[in-house]
């Protein structure tokens, strides 16, 4: 395989070229049965807001073309035996185009820290307490633009569109 973590490889035609048995177990399908299937049909994964992660308009490739990083946290299921929260990291190879997906299980479902870094947790906690972006930057001893970058990444990762939605997510999961 490609890595010391579970992976799957998707070709330019969106068909799965290679599937680690561990990922196959998580999605509830034999690895050999996924080879040649469209990734968006074989992989049952949802963003944390419930929208589909795998779809014909690949969010990873779109982000790559727009020179954006994607820190995807998705749920695998319901085909899997349990609802599993995983981080998806990726590498895009060209000539020919292939996307290698590394799938890393996160901590238990109830763990808030399984999704956010310690710094991100501190920022969202301060935001939920009513601090402004500038006040958060001062307390964290960083530039306001750094706070904006953290918030933008958290909104993307958690499928939130505003600070208000981030705060609601925090209160629901804290």
1 or 135, which is more confident?
A: 135
| Average pLDDT over every residue of 137-144 | 92
Residue with tokens 């994607």: 70
Please write down the long-range contacts of 156-163, taking CB distance under 8 Å and 24 or more positions apart.
156/70, 156/71, 157/48, 157/71, 157/72, 157/73, 157/115, 158/48, 158/49, 158/73, 158/115, 159/47, 159/48, 159/49, 159/51, 160/49, 163/127
pLDDT of residue 139: 92
pLDDT in tens, 75-115: 776 544 456 777 777 777 877 888 888 887 765 444 444 56
Q: Is the pLDDT of residue 134 over 60?
A: yes
70 or 76, which is more confident?
A: 76
User: What is the chain's mean pLDDT, rounded?
Assistant: 79
pLDDT of residue 7: 86
Q: Does pTM surpass 0.85?
A: no
pLDDT in tens, 143-168: 999 999 889 888 877 778 889 988 88
Distant-in-sequence, close-in-space partners of 163: CB < 8 Å, separation ≥ 6: 127, 151
The count of other CB atoms within 10 Å of the CB of residue 79 is: 13
Cα(15)–Cα(48) distance, rounded to whole angstroms? 24
pLDDT of residue 109: 44
Cα(124)–Cα(128) distance, rounded to whole angstroms? 6
The count of other CB atoms within 10 Å of the CB of residue 51 is: 11
Q: What are the CA-CA distances from residue 52 to residues 58, 107, 134 (Å)?
A: 10, 21, 34
Cα(13)–Cα(145) distance, rounded to whole angstroms? 38
């Amino acid at each position: 395989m490609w890595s010391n973590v579970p992976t799957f490889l998707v070709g330019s035609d969106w068909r799965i070229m290679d599937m680690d048995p561990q990922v196959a177990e998580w999605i509830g399908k034999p690895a050999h049965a996924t080879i040649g299937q469209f990734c968006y049909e074989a992989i049952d994964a949802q963003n944390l807001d419930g929208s589909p992660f795998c779809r014909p308009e690949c969010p990873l490739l779109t982000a790559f073309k727009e020179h954006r990083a994607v820190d995807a946290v998705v749920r695998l299921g319901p085909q899997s035996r349990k609802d599993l929260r995983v981080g998806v990291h990726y590498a895009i190879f060209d000539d020919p185009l292939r996307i290698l997906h590394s799938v890393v299980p996160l901590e238990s479902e109830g763990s808030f820290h399984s999704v956010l870094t310690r710094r991100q947790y501190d920022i969202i906690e301060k935001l939920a307490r009513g601090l402004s972006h500038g006040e958060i930057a001062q307390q964290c001893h960083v530039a306001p633009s750094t706070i904006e970058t953290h918030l933008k990444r958290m909104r993307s990762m958690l499928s939130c569109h505003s600070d208000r939605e981030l705060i609601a997510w925090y209160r629901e999961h804290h």
